[in-house]
A = this chain, B = another copy of it.
């Protein structure tokens, strides 16, 4: 288990239909450190500490470790910048893949990003994005959630 994550992310052209029919997760997350990433996150009623190693391109090491509500709220005031709140819709794609569609709340609203995690770099390269996906922003640092959290001059309009 080398805990390697391979992800690509995109802007979107339009929202898929009938979003409310998909699994959704309310997320709140904040950052103790940006590089390597040390993040705390609430997912509905579960809580995690996440470490993301410095990666190359679309690949990085990632560990998701369980914490509890008390630990989350103990560390939340220690975090940098702003708390990111978003709703994630999990949308099945062809080939067993899943689109994770993140609709951000204030102050990042109306930002929307979609991510897909892949089993290999080859699968990521070969992926044919659905029609509703927009520009690939995998390599654009501004679209990293950690960068959003600590950004001081975020204007959502630049990101759409």
Contact = CB atoms under 8 A, between A and B. Distances in A.
Interface string A14-55: 000000000000000000110110100000000001010100
B33 A71 contact: yes
Interface of A: 1, 32-33, 35-36, 38, 49, 51, 53, 63, 65-68, 71, 74-75, 78
Given A38-B49, A51-B49, A33 B65 contact: no
B71 A36 contact: yes
Contacts of A35: 71
B65 A36 contact: yes
A19 to B, nearest CB: 34
Which of A33, A53, A67 gathers the greatest number of chain B CB atoms within 10 Å?
Answer: A33
